Amino acid sequence: MSNGDLCCTIVPYFRVEDDRLVTFKDLCARFVAKTSEEEGCLYYGFTFCGSVAHCREGYTGADAVLAHLANVKSLLEEALSISSLVRLEIHGPESELAKLRSPLSGLNPDFFVLECGFRRG
Which residues pair with residue 15 across a beta bridge?
A: 52, 84
By the 8 A CB rule, do 18 and 51 touch?
A: yes
H/E stretch holding 43 reads strand 41-49
Confidence check: pLDDT of 1 > 60: no
In a domain, 57, yes or no: yes
In a domain, 110, yes or no: no
Domain with 52 in it: what CATH number? 3.30.70.100
The residue-averaged pLDDT of 15-40 equals: 97
Residue 72 CA to residue 3 CA, distance in Å, equals: 30
In a domain, 116, yes or no: no
Residue 5 CA to residue 45 CA, distance in Å, equals: 22
Confidence check: pLDDT of 85 > 90: yes
In a domain, 117, yes or no: no
The residue-averaged pLDDT of 42-46 equals: 98
Residue 88's domain spans which residues?
8-100
pTM for the model stands at 0.93
The residue-averaged pLDDT of 100-111 equals: 97
Q: How confident is the model at residue 16 (pLDDT cuts 50, 70, 90)?
A: very high
In a domain, 3, yes or no: no
Of the candidates 14, 11, 10, the residue with the CA atom closest to the CA atom of residue 25: 14
In a domain, 109, yes or no: no
The per-residue pLDDT for 2 is 52
Which residues touch 105 (CB under 8 Å, ≥6 apart)? none
For the chain, what is the domain count?
A: 1
How many Å separate Cα 82 from the centre of its chain?
17
Confidence check: pLDDT of 74 > 70: yes
Residue 73 CA to residue 71 CA, distance in Å, equals: 6
